[in-house]
């Protein structure tokens, strides 16, 4: 997982550098605009994957905490999952 994480962070850094070079996307030539749009789309994809991974880890932690008898309110505070989400994990 660390190698995947490292890959995503490197990709994110490269994409941010590419995107940050652009002052106004409207002023770009078509080829540059396509590269910009691709970089932005890739960046958003990376963020979506990263956010999904974070959520999955929170769910895993909540399940573990439920199995150990932690109070629902404490699980909510420590995982940032809603009480509804945690309640669904109980069943």
Closest C-alpha among 10, 11, 7, 8 to residue 38: 11
> What's the number of domains the chain is made of?
1
Q: 57 and 22 in contact (C-beta within 8 Å)?
A: no
- Please tell me the distance from the alpha carbon of residue 12 to that of residue 58, in angstroms, as a whole number: 22
| This prediction's pTM | 0.60
Note the pLDDT of residue 12: 67
Confidence band for 3, pLDDT divided at 50, 70 and 90: low
Q: 25 and 36 in contact (C-beta within 8 Å)?
A: yes
- Please tell me the distance from the alpha carbon of residue 19 to that of residue 15, in angstroms, as a whole number: 6
Average the pLDDT over each of 5-9, 30-34, 38-42 and give the range with the smallest value. Answer: 5-9
Q: What is the mean pLDDT of residues 44-62?
A: 91
Domain residues for 22?
Answer: 2-89
Q: CB 13: neighbour CB atoms within 10 A?
A: 10
Q: What is the mean pLDDT of residues 61-82?
A: 96
Tell me the pLDDT tens digit for each residue of 38-50. Answer: 888 888 888 898 8
């Amino acid at each position: 997982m660390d190698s995947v994480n490292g890959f995503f962070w490197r990709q994110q850094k490269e994409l941010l550098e590419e995107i940050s070079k652009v002052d106004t996307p409207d002023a770009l030539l078509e080829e540059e605009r396509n590269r910009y749009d691709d970089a932005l789309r890739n960046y958003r994809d990376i963020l979506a994957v990263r956010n999904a991974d974070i959520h999955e880890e929170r769910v895993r932690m909540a399940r573990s905490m439920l199995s150990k008898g932690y109070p629902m309110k404490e699980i909510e505070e420590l995982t940032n999952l809603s009480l509804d989400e945690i309640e669904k994990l109980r069943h």
